[in-house]
Structures are given as structure tokens and as C-alpha cells.
């Protein structure tokens, strides 16, 4: 049974900070696969809004609104200027999604490379240290001032200011963008990527729009902003640990049979010790030590929660498993020669939705029973070889997972590019003759 829309949206909002920041194949894409774009897009909006509350963006809100003139404007004029600014932000971020979606063919080959995983983890940890205040990453103030002064007055000027505000916000935006871009890069989805980053930009621009249109006064920057920054830093620690799970088994499977509540206790203990509310810059030596220990416990607990998977449902041994073949040559001809429909599965061991399809859909007795009348072909794209690339081009496969269904006449009748639960898969298989 599919989740109700309100539940789906609520789930996306609850995971809003974590879903797009953690490895996309396991959270963002699963949110998209299980709940649809109606849930994934609110998650992207929440992350953009969270980015706007970080210390390198939030102080810019009131100043930037004054620069493009919305503070002095009223009514429709203020609405026009604020909207133009937000559209400028969208115009900066959307091309990132389009570019990542159109150049994603190399990502599969790199995804399982240990050096790449280590570099990704190192980047996440470095950005986390930046969020915790050990050092600052920002554009030179002279360049920020120069960028903020371009564009002139009016709607066009507001649009240009929004366009150049993206690079100014980039040091804090990196945390939110990494997961969304990772998803787009792996799935080669320019349209979906552009939509996700457009909504992300709308979330980032929401405070600018509200302040500019309605002349709202924002709370003054203070300690609360450092805590928001620490939350982002903690999320980046979780992401870094998650990238290392293939290299450090302890991070992936800390203990056999442990309930996820145990991992939650680690997370809560770290938060209680001071992972968020204490400071590494201004606190005493004891407080700094508590924060470091809190970050370690919360980071481990969070990474274990992200890596945890519920036990696989039992498989009925009386129903034979699907007999997969690796012969992917001209599936349409194979279907016509055998007078049987064809089930073709493109997957990889680094694609969580692919693994979920394999273990939670194709392993189910009803799916296995229905699939017995199909010629089943599986293409393993864990390593991108010339042969795999040629096969993907031949079937126009642009991302993973991809499941193709051909009827007995060799005509493609269904293409699936997301996780499909067993009930729906059975219905789709039954509809293919």
C-alpha cells in the first residue's frame, strides 16, 4: 500500500536536513522512489531554507534586501523586486543540476573507487570543521562587496544580485547541495535535477522574499546561528562516516542484531554532551572536550542509523529464484525467438535502490512466481566497462536502477527507473504478454 500524500510530505520534512545531505542513493533517491516528487521536493526546499539560516547567509538577508531596493519599496514593487532576486538565485543553481545530469556518465565508474570514497569523506569532514568554527571558508570581503554592488536598481538589478549571491553563499550551500548533486550525478537526470535545485533555491531565497516583500524584521544574529551551523557540521560528519562505510566495516555494521534504538541513544548522548550547544571557539577546555566527544558519539550514532537496514523479509524456498542471465544482446530478438516476455534489470552494488529492488522485490515469492514466464536478464553496472557502456547506450539507460519489460513480440512496454514495491511489480509483470 502506498503512503498517503500527507504522510509522505511529513516524512520528507522530517528528513529534510538529512535526506539531501546524506548519500543520495540511500536517502534522497529513496524518498523520491517511495514517496514521489511530492515528498522529495519539499525536502529540497527545507534544505535550502536551512542553508539560509547558516551564519554565512543569514546576515546577508537584510543587507541584500536593502541593496536591491525592496526595503524602500512597497506593495507590488517590493513583490516584483523580491521575486526577481529569488529568480536570480534559481538561475544560478538550476544550471548546476542540468550540468550534473548531462555529465553523469562517469559517476558510476567512480562510485565504488576507494580513493574517491576517501576523498569524498575527507571533503565532508573538512566542511564539518568549517561549520564547527575551526576555520572559515568564504570569498574575500572585497569580492563579496563587488559582487553585491552589481546590477543596478530595478527588477533586472535585483535579478543580477540574486544571480551573484549564489557564489557568495557557496561555502554554506555546499553542505546542502552535495547530496542533491550526488543524486543527479548518479542518475543522470537533468530535468529532475533542475527541478530539485530550483526548489532548493526557492528555499534559500524564502527569507529574502519574505523580508523584501513584507518588510519583516528578522531576529538578530546570535548564539542560535552557531548552533544551526553546528547542526550542519554534525550532518556533514554523518555524511563523511557514511562515505567511509565501504572502507571501514565498523561504520556500516557496528554490531549484529542491534536495534536501531541503540544507535539513536548514541546520537542523543552526543547531543546531550554538547555536539550542538557547546562551542569549540569560546568554551572552556572541558566544554570543548565535551563537544568533541559529543560530535564523535552523535556522528557515529547518526551514521549507524543511516546505514541500518531492516532485516530482509523471509523467502519461501518452495518458489524458485529468478534465473537471471547476463546475455544482454538484443533482448527484443530474444523475446521474439522464445515467444516469451523479457525482464531486464540494470543495477549496481553502489546503488541502494538497485539493491533494494534485488532483495525486497525480486526475492518475494509472488514476484518470483510471476517472473518464471519471463526471460530474465541482469546487467551488472557496478564497474563501468566498455561492454556495460555499450549495453546502456543500446537500451538508452541513463541512470540506475532501470528495469525494462519487453512483451513476447519484442516491444518495450514498460521502463522503471525507481524502486518498485513487490505488489506493484507483480501487477506490472501480469500486464505483459
Q: Is the pLDDT of residue 118 over 90?
A: no
**Residue in the block written with cell 524458485:** 320
Alpha carbon 413 to its chain centroid, in Å, reads 30
C-alpha span between 307 and 305 (Å, rounded): 5
In this prediction, residue 2 carries a pLDDT of 36
Share of the chain above pLDDT 90, in %: 21
Of 358 and 216, which is predicted with more confidence?
Answer: 358
**Please, are residues 161 and 150 in contact by the beta-carbon 8 Å criterion?**
yes
The pLDDT of 81-87, averaged and rounded, is 90
Q: How far is CA 395 from CA 38, 191, 242, 248, 415, in A?
A: 29, 20, 32, 36, 10
C-alpha span between 129 and 178 (Å, rounded): 16
Name 216's Cβ contacts closer than 8 Å, sequence gap at least 6: 210
C-alpha span between 11 and 42 (Å, rounded): 10
In this prediction, residue 111 carries a pLDDT of 55
Q: Is the pLDDT of residue 269 over 80?
A: yes
The answer to which of 18-22, 232-236, 328-332, 336-340 has the lowest mean pLDDT is 18-22
**Residue in the block written with cell 542471465:** 325
Q: Is the pLDDT of residue 37 over 80?
A: no
pLDDT category, 100, cuts 50, 70, 90? low
In this prediction, residue 345 carries a pLDDT of 95
The domains found in the chain, sorted by start residue, are 5-222 (no CATH), 324-430 (3.40.30.10)
Of 209 and 398, which is predicted with more confidence?
Answer: 209
The listed range with the strongest mean pLDDT (20-34, 182-196, 347-361, 418-432) is 418-432
Regarding pTM above 0.75, the answer is no
Q: Is the pLDDT of residue 7 over 50?
A: no
Q: Is the pLDDT of residue 14 over 50?
A: no
How does strand 375-380 pair with strand 342-347?
Answer: parallel
The pLDDT of 381-408, averaged and rounded, is 87
Q: Which residues of 253-291 are buried (b: 16+ CB within 10 A; e: fewer)?
A: ebeeeeeeeebeebbeebbebbbbbbbbeeeeeebbebb
pLDDT one-digit tens code per residue, 172-183: 665 566 667 766
Of 1 and 47, which is predicted with more confidence?
Answer: 47
Amino acid at each position: 500500500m502506498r503512503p498517503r500524500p500527507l504522510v509522505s510530505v511529513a516524512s520528507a520534512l522530517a528528513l529534510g536536513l538529512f535526506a539531501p545531505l546524506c548519500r543520495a542513493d540511500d536517502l534522497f533517491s529513496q524518498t523520491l522512489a517511495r514517496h514521489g516528487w511530492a515528498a522529495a521536493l519539499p525536502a529540497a526546499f527545507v534544505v535550502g531554507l536551512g542553508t539560509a539560516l547558516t551564519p554565512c547567509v543569514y546576515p546577508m538577508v537584510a543587507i541584500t534586501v536593502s541593496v536591491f531596493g525592496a526595503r524602500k519599496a512597497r506593495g507590488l514593487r517590493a513583490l516584483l523586486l523580491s521575486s526577481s532576486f529569488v529568480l536570480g538565485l534559481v538561475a544560478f543553481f538550476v544550471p548546476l543540476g542540468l550540468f550534473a545530469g548531462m555529465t553523469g556518465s562517469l559517476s558510476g565508474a567512480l562510485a565504488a573507487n576507494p580513493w574517491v570514497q576517501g576523498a569524498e569523506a575527507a571533503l565532508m569532514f573538512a566542511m564539518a570543521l568549517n561549520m564547527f568554527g575551526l576555520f572559515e571558508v568564504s570569498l574575500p570581503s572585497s569580492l563579496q562587496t563587488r559582487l553585491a554592488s552589481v546590477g543596478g536598481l530595478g527588477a533586472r538589478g535585483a535579478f543580477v544580485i540574486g544571480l551573484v549571491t549564489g557564489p557568495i553563499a557557496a561555502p554554506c550551500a555546499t553542505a546542502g547541495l552535495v547530496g542533491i548533486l550526488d543524486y543527479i550525478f548518479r542518475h543522470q537526470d537533468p530535468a529532475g535535477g533542475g527541478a530539485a535545485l530550483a526548489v532548493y533555491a526557492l528555499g534559500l531565497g524564502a527569507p529574502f522574499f519574505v523580508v523584501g516583500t513584507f518588510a519583516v524584521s528578522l531576529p538578530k544574529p546570535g548564539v542560535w546561528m552557531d548552533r544551526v551551523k553546528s547542526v550542519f557540521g554534525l550532518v556533514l560528519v554523518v555524511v563523511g562516516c557514511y562515505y567511509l562505510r565501504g572502507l571501514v566495516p565498523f561504520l556500516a555494521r557496528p554490531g549484529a542484531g542491534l536495534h536501531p534504538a541503540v544507535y539513536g541513544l548514541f546520537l542523543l548522548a552526543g547531543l546531550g554532551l554538547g555536539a550542538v550547544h557547546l562551542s569549540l571557539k569560546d568554551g572552556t577546555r572541558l566544554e570543548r572536550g565535551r563537544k568533541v566527544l559529543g560530535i564523535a558519539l552523535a556522528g557515529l550514532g547518526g551514521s549507524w542509523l543511516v546505514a541500518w537496514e531492516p532485516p530482509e523479509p523471509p523467502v519461501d524456498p518452495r518458489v524458485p529464484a529468478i534465473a537471471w542471465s547476463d546475455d544482454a544482446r538484443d533482448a527484443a530478438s530474444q523475446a521474439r525467438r522464445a515467444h516469451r516476455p523479457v525482464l531486464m534489470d540494470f543495477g549496481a552494488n553502489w546503488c541502494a535502490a538497485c539493491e533494494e529492488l534485488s532483495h525486497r522485490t525480486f526475492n518475494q515469492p509472488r514476484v518470483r512466481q510471476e517472473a518464471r514466464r519471463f526471460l530474465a536478464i541482469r546487467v551488472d553496472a557496478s564497474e563501468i566497462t566498455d561492454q556495460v557502456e555499450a549495453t546502456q547506450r543500446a537500451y538508452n539507460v541513463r541512470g540506475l536502477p532501470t528495469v525494462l519489460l519487453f512483451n513476447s513480440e519484442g516491444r518495450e512496454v514498460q521502463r522503471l527507473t525507481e524502486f518498485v514495491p513487490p505488489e506493484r511489480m507483480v501487477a506490472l509483470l501480469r500486464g505483459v504478454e
